[in-house]
């Protein structure tokens, strides 16, 4: 059977188009299954099935206790200081009880609780609304429970900010780089127009280090001879410190009625951890 030139070009053209379309379709399907990591993981890396944090506010006493923790995070992550609440970017910060747990406050609360600052950060929810609403998968949940940000994919639509019930997300309303006091070259700075938030220090976990805020809290506790206010660990491991604390203390989570399943737990009570 012979074919003429016209038929040949037709067949060649169609098969090229199908071929291109075919490979890109396979690419698209595969892309969702790929992990972001490009290299084999560091053997020292800290891993977990479900990372979680316990904030024991009774262990945080002075203004400095809070400042050390917040500064540690904002310093290593190049969080800019913009100096006004409108453009503010924050990954970890203080709120009073009535604002941290709206609806839970009442006028007969002890003075201690009424004025006690609570540390706020991304809750790394099990069922995160921000991930659900993001139109580009720029924010996604990792297998270990960390709700991550891909700041190169984020289009800056801020749907996640509307979706997050915890006000954990900040947007770069302008170029943040001139407002970074001392740049940490180990961690990327951001550009204008993208959303950012706490990532449970995924970059430190990958190197075998605990999150910067927890480390700062531990160091301060060691110096003062007390227990740290922040504890980090694997929620799925019954022997982990977070689990031991949660099984022996009354704990609360922010807005648990919304069903997002936050993995940041707050202990108000006070006794020393078991």
Partner 1 sequence: MLETALKGSRKYWGLIFFLLAIIGVGFIFYLQQFFYGLGITGMSRDVSWGVYIGQFTFLVGVAAAAVMVVLPYYLHNYKKYGRISVLAEFLAIPSVIMCMLFIFVDMGQPLRVLNVILHPTPNSVMFFDMLVLSGYLLLNVLLGWTILGAERKGMPPPTWIKPFIYIAIAWAPSIHIVTAFLYAGLPGRHLWLSAIMAARFLASAFAAGPALIIILCLIVRKYTKFDPGREAIQALGKTITYTMILNVMFLGFEVFTAFYSTIPGHMHPFDYLYVGLDGYTKLVPMMWLSSILAISALVLLLNPNWRKNETTLAVASVAVFFSLWIDKGFGLIVGGFVPNMFERVFEYWPTIPEALITLGVWAVGFLILTILYKIATTVKEEVVYDKYGEKQIKI
Residue ranges in contact with partner 1 by CB under 8 A: 31, 85-89, 95, 98-100, 102-103, 129, 132-138, 153-159, 161-167, 170-175, 191-195, 255, 258-260
> Which structure tokens are listed for 81?
């200081």
> Which structure tokens are listed for 215?
């480390």
3-class secondary structure per residue, the chain: CCCCHHHHHHHHHHHHHHHHHHHHHHHHHHHCCCCCCCCCCCCCCCCCCCEEEEEEHHHCCCHHHHHHHHHHHHHHCCCCCCCCCCCCCCCEEEEEHHHHCCCCCCCCCCHHHHCCEEEEECCCCCCCHHHHHCCCCCEEECCCCCEEECCCCCCCCCHHHHHCCCCCCEECCCCCHHHCCCCCCCCCCCCCCCEECCCCCHHHHCCCCCCHHHHHHHHHHHHHCCCCCEEEEECCCCCCHHHHHHHHCCEECCCHHHCCCCCEEEECCCCCCC
CB nearer partner 1, residue 96 or residue 236: 96
CB 225 within 8 A of CB 216: no
CB of 93 to partner 1, least distance (A): 10
CB of 164 to partner 1, least distance (A): 7
CB nearer partner 1, residue 165 or residue 227: 165
CB nearer partner 1, residue 162 or residue 252: 162
CB nearer partner 1, residue 137 or residue 207: 137
CB of 190 to partner 1, least distance (A): 11
Environment class of 163 (CB within 10 Å of its CB; exposed 0-12, middle 13-18, buried 19+):
middle
CB nearer partner 1, residue 67 or residue 132: 132
CB of 92 to partner 1, least distance (A): 14
> Which structure tokens are listed for 158?
């801020």
Which residues does residue 132 pair with via DSSP β-bridges, in sequence order?
none
Number of residues in the chain: 274
CB of 162 to partner 1, least distance (A): 6
CB nearer partner 1, residue 14 or residue 258: 258
CB nearer partner 1, residue 195 or residue 246: 195
CB of 168 to partner 1, least distance (A): 8
CB of 85 to partner 1, least distance (A): 7
CB nearer partner 1, residue 199 or residue 240: 199
């Amino acid at each position: 059977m012979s074919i003429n030139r016209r038929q040949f070009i037709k067949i060649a053209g169609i098969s090229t188009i199908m071929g291109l379309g075919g490979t890109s379709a396979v690419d698209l399907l595969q892309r969702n299954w790929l992990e972001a990591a490009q290299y084999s993981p560091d053997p020292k890396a800290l891993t977990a099935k479900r990372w979680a944090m316990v904030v024991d506010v009774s262990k945080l006493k002075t203004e400095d206790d809070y400042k050390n923790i917040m500064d540690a995070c904002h310093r290593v992550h190049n969080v800019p200081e913009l100096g006004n609440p409108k453009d503010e970017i924050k990954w970890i910060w203080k709120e009073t009880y009535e604002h941290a747990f709206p609806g839970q406050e009442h006028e007969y609360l002890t003075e201690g609780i009424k004025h006690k600052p609570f540390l706020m950060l991304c809750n790394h929810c099990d069922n995160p609304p921000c991930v659900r609403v993001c139109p580009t998968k720029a924010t996604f949940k990792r297998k270990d429970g960390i709700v991550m940000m891909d700041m190169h994919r984020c289009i800056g639509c801020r749907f996640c900010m509307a979706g997050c019930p915890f006000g954990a997300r900040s947007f770069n309303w302008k170029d943040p780089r001139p407002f970074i006091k001392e740049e940490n070259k180990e961690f990327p700075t951001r550009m204008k127009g993208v959303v950012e938030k706490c990532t449970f220090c995924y970059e430190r976990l990958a190197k075998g280090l605990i999150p910067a805020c927890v480390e700062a809290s531990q160091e301060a506790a060691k110096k003062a001879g007390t227990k740290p206010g922040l504890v980090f660990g694997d929620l799925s491991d019954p022997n982990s410190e977070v689990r031991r604390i949660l099984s022996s203390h009354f704990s609360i989570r922010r807005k648990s009625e919304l069903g997002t399943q936050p993995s940041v737990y707050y202990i108000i009570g006070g006794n020393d951890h078991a």
